[in-house]
């Protein structure tokens, strides 16, 4: 879970790490700091490049900036709050981030003596590999800083940031910049991604709902599926709305990616991305299917999955059929699924299709998984031509 | 001879009394996997499908010969279970548990390196050396397992558990069988990666070629290219990369597995394919072509 800058700074402060004095405003109010920096609170995109961060020298300028930024949008994401901070008089800027590296399969520290904007283009970023079990000792950070000819006085702060990264179960902790001031180091911006898998051991992580990672708020359909998915621990269903006309119901993390590619390659336009896995119960499959097939403009439905390891095909089909019975779709439906209890599962769908006169074609393991993409695309095209 | 597991593999099931642990144990026993013991703290003295349960790994190891562990415990207990197995000297550990916190996984990996042990997963569905042994829950029910997994010459490595079956199946449909098939897990960090398994497949006389299912995100696919360039793997290799559509989406959106995300410009399927092709891997544009491609390369 990505944190807003203000949430990240509150958490850092709780751990005794220095951040500028500031206040979060959700409505127009004058800044208590002058001069000050006004920062739009958004989770995605480079707000600095888009005018989301402004230095204000007087109250008039600050008031104007605050009212201009509040409720504005950055790449589709609405600004619900602004952070107003004291302006820090800085002498030098550093960059530091802690994250997990797939090359070394370890946590790493990325560090640069030239922090601030434009860090993506920087060539001079140093990498320091950390052993998760041993942690980061102040002595080894000192040696690292000395080797790259950086200020060794940064060592205690970097060690504290490492402890924070571990204690708060971060996937990413990025401070850009760390400002060197006359009195010490201050974290001017903070980017934190908490590890959702660790939520069970952090009862204090009470953060509100986030915008979808696409930068927009969750749609009603996405919310409904998420609620159903979170309702019990049996499996997960994910749903993300897209612009196309084929409702896409795919099993498995890997299977769903393979099939999305196949659908697009075949010339199809997915109305959504979906993934269901871990043997979801009927109710979850029902909600997912209902949301996916009732999306306006849907002209077909592709239910696809590889040979499942443990997800039951009969449970899945019972949920899907329940949604179909409520909607009674006229559009074509193509199914390719295999796995435990597939004979029973595919029969449930075939019987219901016969009874209600649905336009369903069912394939099993003998037909390659992605080959059925071409079939649904062809059928949707035919359906579109006859139902203009 | 297959790699990693065979008739001599003796598997401890950590978390054997849980619902998934019980089901997996039953399926493994039916397949012929040797399971001398299981562990669940506080449940010592019970039996699951005739397998004795102990409170600790140490205790189980004192009473039985054990050379592998299958970890199927709740996510927040996975780290301590794995560290316990490593401390008890078990050389091969497969973690089935999903949703393990990243810091815990990093700790397991560091410890496995220290102990020179092989860690597979977390979030690995399992692995199978057809007709010899299986760890995990691979291929569903017994009739399906024997339909899609047959002793043969092709090694398979997949980040996805579902696509592991599907890939094994296209190999079977091409009239070939498999030496060993591994689900390595699709998390950001996993204990062992393609490169590690390829080096083992190179040494295995039975394996004539390897097929890989890879996907968007991370750099594990890119590491395969290094193994090829260094001649650490010299047999035919066919690769399919999933998730090409993710490149058309905004960066930083995760699709499917936790590791399936393009971040800081890294993890693009088009780049993975380019690097692998240059290094000499055979690329399948469509997944079902993998069977024909590898058959033609033999």
Q: In this structure, what token pair is assigned to residue B292?
A: 């024909």
Give Rg (Cα) of chain A.
26
**DSSP E strand boundaries for chain A:** 22-25, 36-40, 53-56, 73-74, 77-78, 82-86, 92-101, 106-112, 126-129, 170-180, 185-187, 190-194, 236-241, 246-250, 272-277, 300-307, 333-338, 360-363
Asked whether residue A377 carries a pLDDT value surpassing 80, the answer given is yes
Angle at B136 between CA B131 and CA B141, to 5 degrees: 65
Contact B250 A253 (CB under 8 A): no
* pLDDT at residue B168, as a whole number: 97
Asked whether residue A334 carries a pLDDT value surpassing 80, the answer given is yes
Instruction: List CB contacts of A356: < 8 A, sequence separation 6 or more.
Output: A324, A325, A328
- For chain B, give every domain's residue range: 1-124, 150-298
Task: Give the whole-number percent of chain A exceeding pLDDT 90.
Answer: 81
* pLDDT at residue B90, as a whole number: 98
CB atoms within 10 A of CB A369: 30
User: Is residue A6 classed as helix, strand or coil in its secondary structure?
Assistant: helix
d(CA B11, CA B132): 13
Distances (CA, A) of B247 to A52, A216, B253: 26, 18, 10
pTM for this entry: 0.95
Q: In this structure, what token pair is assigned to residue B273?
A: 């394919």
Mean pLDDT of B272-288: 97
Tell whether B243 lies on the interface with A, counting CB pairs under 8 A.
yes
Contact B23 A310 (CB under 8 A): yes
- For chain A, give every domain's residue range: 21-86, 92-201, 220-386
- Which helix (H) or strand (E) segment holds residue A162: the answer is helix A155-167
With a CB-CB cutoff of 8 Å, which residues 32-61 of chain B face chain A?
none
- The torsion angles phi and psi of B294, rounded to 5 degrees, stand at -75, -30
Q: What's domain B150-298's superfamily in CATH?
A: Succinyl-CoA synthetase domains (3.40.50.261)
Tell whether B250 lies on the interface with A, counting CB pairs under 8 A.
yes
* pLDDT at residue A140, as a whole number: 95
* pLDDT at residue A212, as a whole number: 59
Query: Residue B99: closest CA among chain A residues belongs to which residue?
Result: A197
Q: In this structure, what token pair is assigned to residue B116?
A: 């020179």
Instruction: Sort A280 into a burial class: Cβ within 10 Å, 0-12 / 13-18 / 19+.
Output: buried
Asked whether residue A209 carries a pLDDT value surpassing 80, the answer given is no
CATH class of B1-124: alpha beta
User: Is residue B109 classed as helix, strand or coil in its secondary structure?
Assistant: helix
Instruction: List CB contacts of A36: < 8 A, sequence separation 6 or more.
Output: A55, A56, A62, A84, A85, A86, A87
- Residue with the two structure tokens 């402890």: A163
Q: B189 contacts in A (CB within 8 Å)? A: 100, 102, 105
Q: In this structure, what token pair is assigned to residue A37?
A: 């920096």
Asked whether residue B261 carries a pLDDT value surpassing 90, the answer given is no
* pLDDT at residue A388, as a whole number: 55
HSE of A149, CA atoms in CB hemisphere, 13 A: 2
User: Is residue B11 classed as helix, strand or coil in its secondary structure?
Assistant: strand
Task: Calculate how close chain B gets to A227, using CA atoms only, in Å.
Answer: 18
Query: Residue B145: closest CA among chain A residues belongs to which residue?
Result: A309
Global ipTM: 0.94
Task: Calculate how close chain A gets to B165, using CA atoms only, in Å.
Answer: 6
Closest-CA residue to A80 (of A177, A190, A5): A5
d(CA B14, CA B37): 9
Tell whether A105 lies on the interface with B, counting CB pairs under 8 A.
yes
CATH class of A220-386: alpha beta
Q: In this structure, what token pair is assigned to residue A115?
A: 């922090």
Asked whether residue B165 carries a pLDDT value surpassing 60, the answer given is yes
Domain made up of A92-201: CATH architecture: 2-Layer Sandwich (3.30)
Q: Is B127 within 8 Å of B180 (Cβ atoms)? A: yes
* pLDDT at residue A311, as a whole number: 87
| CATH for the A21-86 domain, from 3.30.1490.20, 3.40.50.300, 3.30.70.980, 3.90.950.20 | 3.30.1490.20
Q: Is A309 within 8 Å of B162 (Cβ atoms)? A: yes
Report the residue from B162, B240, B250 with minimal CB separation from A214. B250
Mean pLDDT of B70-96: 97
């Amino acid at each position: 879970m990505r944190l807003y800058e203000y949430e990240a700074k509150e958490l850092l402060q709780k751990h005794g790490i220095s951040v500028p004095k500031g206040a979060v405003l959700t409505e127009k109010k004058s800044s208590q700091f002058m001069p000050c920096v006004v920062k739009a609170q958004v989770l995605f995109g480079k707000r600095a490049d888009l005018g989301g961060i402004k230095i204000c020298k007087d109250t008039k300028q600050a008031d104007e900036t605050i009212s201009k930024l509040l409720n504005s949008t950055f790449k589709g994401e609405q600004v619900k709050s602004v952070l107003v901070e004291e302006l820090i008089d800085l002498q030098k800027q550093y960059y530091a981030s802690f994250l997990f590296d797939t090359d070394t399969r370890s946590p790493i520290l990325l560090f640069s003596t030239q922090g601030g904007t434009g860090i993506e283009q920087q060539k001079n970023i140093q990498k320091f590999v950390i052993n998760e079990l041993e942690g980061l000792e102040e002595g080894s950070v000192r040696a690292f800083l000395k080797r790259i000819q950086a200020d060794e006085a940064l060592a205690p702060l970097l060690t504290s940031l490492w402890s924070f990264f571990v204690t708060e179960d971060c996937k990413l902790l990025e401070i850009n910049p760390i400002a060197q001031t006359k009195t010490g180091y201050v974290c001017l911006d903070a980017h934190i991604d908490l590890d959702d898998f660790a939520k069970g051991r952090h009862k204090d992580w009470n953060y509100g709902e986030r915008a979808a990672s696409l930068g927009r708020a969750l749609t009603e359909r996405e919310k409904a599926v998420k609620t159903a998915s979170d309702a019990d621990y049996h499996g997960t269903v994910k749903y993300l709305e897209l612009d196309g006309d084929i409702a896409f119901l795919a099993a498995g993390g890997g299977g769903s990616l393979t099939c999305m590619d196949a659908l697009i390659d075949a010339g199809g336009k997915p109305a959504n991305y979906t993934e269901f896995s871990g043997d979801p119960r009927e109710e979850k499959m029902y909600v997912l299917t209902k949301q996916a097939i009732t999306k306006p403009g849907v002209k077909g439905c592709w239910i696809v999955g590889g040979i499942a390891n443990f997800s039951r095909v009969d449970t899945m089909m019972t949920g899907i059929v329940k949604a179909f019975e409520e909607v009674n779709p006229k559009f074509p439906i193509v199914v390719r699924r295999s796995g435990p209890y597939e004979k029973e599962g595919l029969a449930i769908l075939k019987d219901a299709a016969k009874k209600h006169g649905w336009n369903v074609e069912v394939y099993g393991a003998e037909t390659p998984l992605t080959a059925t993409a071409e079939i649904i695309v062809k059928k949707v095209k035919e359906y579109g031509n006859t139902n203009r | 001879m297959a790699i990693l597991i065979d008739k001599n593999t003796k598997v401890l099931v950590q978390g054997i009394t849980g619902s998934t642990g019980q089901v997996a144990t039953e399926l493994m026993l039916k397949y012929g996997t040797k399971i001398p013991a299981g562990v669940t703290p506080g449940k010592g003295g019970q039996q699951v499908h005739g397998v004795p349960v102990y409170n600790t790994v140490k205790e189980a190891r004192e009473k039985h010969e054990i050379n592998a562990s299958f970890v199927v415990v709740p996510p927040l207990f996975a780290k301590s279970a794995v560290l316990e197995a490593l401390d008890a000297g078990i050389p091969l550990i497969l973690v089935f548990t999903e949703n393990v916190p990243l810091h815990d996984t990093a700790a397991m990996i560091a410890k496995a390196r220290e102990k020179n042990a092989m860690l597979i997963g977390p979030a690995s569905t399992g692995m199978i050396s057809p007709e010899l042994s299986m760890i995990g829950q691979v291929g569903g029910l017994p009739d399906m397992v024997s339909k899609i997994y047959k002793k043969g010459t092709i090694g398979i490595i997949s980040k996805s558990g579902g696509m592991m079956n599907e890939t094994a199946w296209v190999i079977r449909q091409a009239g070939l069988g498999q030496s060993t098939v591994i689900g390595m897990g699709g998390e950001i960090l996993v204990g062992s990666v393609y490169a590690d398994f390829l080096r083992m497949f190179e040494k295995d006389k039975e394996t004539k070629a390897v097929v890989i299912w890879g996907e968007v995100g991370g750099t594990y696919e890119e590491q395969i290219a290094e193994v090829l360039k260094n001649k650490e793997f010299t047999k035919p290799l066919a690769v399919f990369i999933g998730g090409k559509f993710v490149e058309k989406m905004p960066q930083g959106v995760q699709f499917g597995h936790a590791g399936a995300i393009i971040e800081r410009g890294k993890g693009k399927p088009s780049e993975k394919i380019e690097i692998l092709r240059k290094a000499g891997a055979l690329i399948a544009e469509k997944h079902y072509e993998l069977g024909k491609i590898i058959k033609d390369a033999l």
